[in-house]
Chain A
Amino acid sequence: MGIAIGIMVIVALGMVTGGLKQSTTSTLKAGAAEINVMQTGSGNFGSGRINETRVADIQSISGVKETAGLLKATNTSTSGSSVSTGSTGTSTGTGTTSAGSGGSGSFGGFSVTGMDPGKLSLAGIENVTGSLYSSTSENEVIIGKTASTDLNKSVGDTINLFGKDFTITGVYETGSFMTDGGVFMSLTTLQNLTSNNNTVSTIAVKINEDANTTEVSKSIETAYPNELSTTTAEAMAGRMNSALSTIDAASWAISLLAIIIGGVGVINTMIMSVFERTREIGVLKAVGWKERRILGMILGESVVLTIIAAVVGTIIAVVGVVTLLAFSFGGTIQPSFAPEIFLEAFVVAFAVGIIGGLYPAYRASRLSPTEALRYE
């Protein structure tokens, strides 16, 4: 039981952290912007306000290949729609929305991003099933795969955002659970809808192949001191990976504890088994079994016991994690089924089986045959 719990913890946490890591890696995919520019002091992505002219201004900085302005808004599920654009926290829009009802996208709201359709690759969107919206379109959007699944919407369907109906022209998938949980529409349309004309929340910057990300970032911040700040995708991924490493370490600590408890359980179970079968072991010695064979038999049983526990623990973990992630996070985090997670769990189970069975096996192999045969 202890081993099953230990293995369950290893597999479950491995699947979750693995899923998060895959998502993080996907955000770094080729083609996406290397630098994100925000308003200084705005904190989180999407909460600042930058004059749209800066999109063209940054384009002229040395090393910059391409820029794109993004306006991010949240279409909340219960109190209408809102867009946070700067420290004033302007909240606009009214109508109730069907799009937010699933809680998809960013938790507690539905992410809507305005962006020039020709620049979508800077947001990591490379392939779209269907077609893109046009830059002048006022009633077209493309929807992320996760949001599409959660809201049961596909190409040709209508979605209500900020009290207005939009036609879905395409479905995209980036692998990033945040991006795939929202929709993209024309920048101008979202600016009009949220009364943020000539304003963007962030500027995505793609640099030349021979340029240095850190140097270009510094150049942008130096050109617009106290106005613009930058975050590189690399640094962001590093922070996320650091957080995931902490989760990894915590999961290993929990697993280790469970394994120690499980290991003691295996030792106890096998010692009890040896006690109960003392007479049987005496018979095996009487018929000529060597100590090595008896040692192997008890060790083998110990390993089989832990492998069975590992199978049970793995099944519980897989069913539990898949169910939990499907219902608790709206499917935005996909569990990882990387073979190394399961391999790791079974290697641990095997090792616990060997270590836990070693002492009982040694005891059994050293039993005196006459004493073992007299054992009642």
Chain B
Amino acid sequence: MNNQNHEDGTMDNGKNIIEIRGLKKSYDDGTIKALNGLNLEVKEGEFVSIMGPSGSGKSTLLNMIGALDIADEGTIEVAGIDLMKTSQLNEFRSKEIGFVFQMHNLIPNLTILENVEIPMYETDLSSKQMKDRAMELLKAVGLEDRADQIPTKLSGGQRQRVAIARALVNRPSIILADEPTGSLDSQTGDVILKLLRDLHEKENVTLVMITHEPYVGNMAERIVNVLDGKIQN
């Protein structure tokens, strides 16, 4: 990637998959301004780290990109869809976004395979197609032999690998990872980061990752610093 980085978070070259202009979001009747006129552009296939102190607005930004929350003001277009106007947010999340959370958030009473299949329930795939696709992803994260086990039988790193498989299963345009190594030891964290980076390159999927760790952030192609609800680069 040879994109020119501007201070306001916008870029010069390539096609934008995320375009945010003047995004504002406040909580508690406006007393907490989580996003305060934030601008950001992310190119298709880019790996971006979002860094910043606690309460700076990183997670709110990620939630806005993933359509888990709605902004108060501004414009946000992701994968060509205006999130301030569309009413099909579920469909957007299902098709375009894959989430990887800090806590893997697997469903404990379902098997590993079923956990990976969950996002496909909203698609038209047959149960065999769903199973084949889930197994393909489990193989990619090296857990195909654990498909019939429940999450409690896996280590933290293995659970996060399952979460990554789940995030990729619908072939999304963007992976949004919220501190994916935050609950792991450094060695396991490295394995997860390498896996994420490899899959990002192999699947040509855009990767937006929140992290506190400069070491983790430096693995990205671009670092975006957020402070007081704005981009600081």
B93 touches A286 (CB 8 A): yes
A288 touches B122 (CB 8 A): yes
Output the nearest chain B residue to A287 by Cβ-Cβ distance.
Answer: B119
Output the nearest chain A residue to B92 by Cβ-Cβ distance.
Answer: A288
Name the distance in Å between A275's Cβ and chain B's nearest Cβ.
16
Q: Which of A288, A368, A369, A370 contacts B94 (CB 8 A)?
A: A288
Q: Which residues of A contact B95 (CB under 8 A)?
A: 288
Q: Which of B90, B101, B166 contacts A285 (CB 8 A)?
A: B90
Give the docked Cα–Cα distance between A285 and B91 (Å): 10
Of residues 267 to 298 in A, which have CB atoms within 8 Å of B's CB atoms? 279-280, 282-291, 293
A288 touches B90 (CB 8 A): yes
A370 touches B99 (CB 8 A): no
Output the nearest chain A residue to B169 by Cβ-Cβ distance.
Answer: A287
Give the docked Cα–Cα distance between A291 and B93 (Å): 13
Name the distance in Å between A305's Cβ and chain B's nearest Cβ.
15
Output the nearest chain B residue to A291 by Cβ-Cβ distance.
Answer: B90
Give the docked Cα–Cα distance between A369 and B92 (Å): 14
Name the distance in Å between B177's Cβ and chain A's nearest Cβ.
13
Give the docked Cα–Cα distance between A119 and B93 (Å): 84
Q: Which residues of B contact A279 (CB under 8 A)?
A: 105
B99 touches A287 (CB 8 A): yes
A283 touches B68 (CB 8 A): no
B63 touches A370 (CB 8 A): yes
| CB of A373 closer than 8 Å to a CB of B | yes
Q: Which residues of A contact B180 (CB under 8 A)?
A: none
A287 touches B166 (CB 8 A): yes
Output the nearest chain B residue to A294 by Cβ-Cβ distance.
Answer: B90
Output the nearest chain A residue to B163 by Cβ-Cβ distance.
Answer: A283
Given known A-B contacts A279-B105, A280-B107, A370-B63, A289 and B69 have beta carbons under 8 A apart? no
Q: Which of B63, B68, B99, B122 contacts A289 (CB 8 A)?
A: B122
B105 touches A370 (CB 8 A): no
Name the distance in Å between B169's Cβ and chain A's nearest Cβ.
9
| CB of B52 closer than 8 Å to a CB of A | no
* B-side interface mostly: helix
Give the docked Cα–Cα distance between A286 and B170 (Å): 13
Interface residue tally on A, bucketed by range: 10 to 19
Q: Which residues of B contact A368 (CB under 8 A)?
A: 69
Given known A-B contacts A285-B90, A370-B63, A370-B68, A290 and B105 have beta carbons under 8 A apart? no
Name the distance in Å between A376's Cβ and chain B's nearest Cβ.
10
Q: Which residues of B contact A284 (CB under 8 A)?
A: 118
Q: Which residues of B contact A289 (CB under 8 A)?
A: 90, 94, 118, 121-122
Interface string of B100-111 (1 = CB under 8 A from A): 010001010000
B93 touches A288 (CB 8 A): yes
Q: Which residues of A contact B166 (CB under 8 A)?
A: 287
A370 touches B122 (CB 8 A): no
| CB of B229 closer than 8 Å to a CB of A | no
| CB of B66 closer than 8 Å to a CB of A | yes
Of residues 362 to 376 in A, which have CB atoms within 8 Å of B's CB atoms? 368-370, 373
Q: Which of B66, B107, B121 contacts A283 (CB 8 A)?
A: B107
Interface centre among B63, B90, B101, B166 (most CB of A within 10 A): B90
A373 touches B101 (CB 8 A): yes
Given known A-B contacts A287-B94, A370-B69, A293 and B121 have beta carbons under 8 A apart? yes
Of residues 79 to 102 in B, which have CB atoms within 8 Å of A's CB atoms? 90-95, 97, 99, 101
Give the docked Cα–Cα distance between A282 and B90 (Å): 12
Q: Which of A280, A286, A290 contacts B122 (CB 8 A)?
A: A290
Q: Which residues of A contact B68 (CB under 8 A)?
A: 285-286, 369-370, 373
B122 touches A293 (CB 8 A): yes
Interface string of B54-85 (1 = CB under 8 A from A): 00000000010010110000000000000000
Output the nearest chain B residue to A283 by Cβ-Cβ distance.
Answer: B105
Interface centre among A282, A287, A369 (most CB of B within 10 A): A287
Residues of A within 8 A of B (CB): 279-280, 282-291, 293, 368-370, 373
Residues of B within 8 A of A (CB): 63, 66, 68-69, 90-95, 97, 99, 101, 105, 107, 118-119, 121-122, 166, 170
Leading 4 A-B pairs by shortest Cβ distance: A288-B94, A287-B119, A288-B93, A369-B68
Known: A286-B93, A288-B91. 14 other contacts (CB 8 A): A282-B105, A283-B118, A286-B68, A287-B166, A288-B119, A288-B170, A289-B90, A289-B121, A290-B90, A290-B122, A293-B121, A370-B63, A373-B101, A373-B105
11 contacts between A and B (CB under 8 A): A283-B107, A287-B94, A287-B118, A288-B93, A288-B94, A290-B90, A290-B122, A291-B90, A293-B121, A368-B69, A369-B69
